[in-house]
Amino acid sequence: MTSKSHKDHFSSEILDALPYETPFFVFSKKRITHNIKEFKEFFPGAKIYYAMKANSDEETLKTALKSGVGFEVASVYELNMLKAIKVPPEKIIYGTSVKPASHIKKFFNYGVNKFAFDSLGELEKIADLAPKSKVYVRIAVSDKGSVFKFSEKFGTEKENIISFLERAKELGLDPCGISFHVGSQASNVVAWANALDGLVDIMNKLSVIGIKLDFINMGGGFPCNKYLSSENTLELEEIAYHIFLKYKKLPYKPKIILEPGRGIVSDAAVLVASVIARVERREHTWLFLDAGVYTGAFEAMAYQGSTRYKITAMRQTNGVDEMIFALAGPTGDSPDIITREVMLPRDIQVGDKIVIHDIGAYSIPTISRFNGFPKPDIYFI
Q: Are residues 243 and 306 in the same domain?
A: no
Query: Is residue 197 in some structural domain?
Result: yes
pLDDT at 2: 43
Q: Are residues 76 and 222 in the same domain?
A: yes
Average pLDDT over residues 184-192: 72
Q: What is the CATH number of the domain that holds 110?
A: 3.20.20.10
Q: Are residues 284 and 173 in the same domain?
A: no
Q: Cis omega (within 30 of 0) on the bond before 23?
A: yes
Query: Is residue 313 in some structural domain?
Result: yes
Residue 149 has pLDDT above 60, yes or no: no
* E runs forming strands in the chain: 24-27, 47-51, 70-73, 92-94, 114-117, 134-138, 174-179, 215-217, 255-258, 269-281, 284-289, 311-313, 322-328, 337-345, 353-357, 377-380
Is the model more confident about 141 or about 191? 191
Q: What is the CATH number of the domain that holds 347?
A: 2.40.37.10
Q: Which of 25-29, 143-147, 193-197, 316-320 has the highest mean pLDDT?
A: 25-29
Q: Are residues 374 and 312 in the same domain?
A: yes
Q: Are residues 186 and 57 in the same domain?
A: yes
Q: Are residues 136 and 251 in the same domain?
A: yes
Residue 242 CB neighbours (<10 A)? 17
Q: What angle do CA 35, 37, 42 make, to 5 degrees?
A: 100
Q: Are residues 136 and 282 in the same domain?
A: no
> What is the domain count for the chain?
2
Q: Which residues constitute the domain of residue 162?
A: 29-265
| Side-chain-side CA neighbours of residue 372 (13 Å) | 0
Q: Are residues 354 and 236 in the same domain?
A: no
Residue 206 has pLDDT above 50, yes or no: yes
Helices marked H in the chain — which ranges?
A: 12-16, 29-42, 58-66, 76-84, 101-110, 120-129, 161-170, 191-195, 199-208, 236-247, 262-265
Digit-coded pLDDT (tens) for 264-309: 999 999 999 999 999 999 889 999 999 999 999 998 886 546 788 9
Q: Are residues 68 and 216 in the same domain?
A: yes
Distance (Å, whole) CA 68 – CA 47:
10
Q: Are residues 220 and 341 in the same domain?
A: no
The domain boundary residue, chosen from 216, 239, 265: 265
At a CB cut-off of 8 Å and minimum separation 6, what does 216 contact? 177, 178, 179, 196, 199, 254, 255, 256, 257
Digit-coded pLDDT (tens) for 220-274: 888 777 767 656 777 889 999 999 999 999 999 999 999 999 999 999 999 999 9
Q: Are residues 124 and 220 in the same domain?
A: yes
Q: Which DSSP symbol is given to 195?
A: H
Q: Are residues 54 and 163 in the same domain?
A: yes
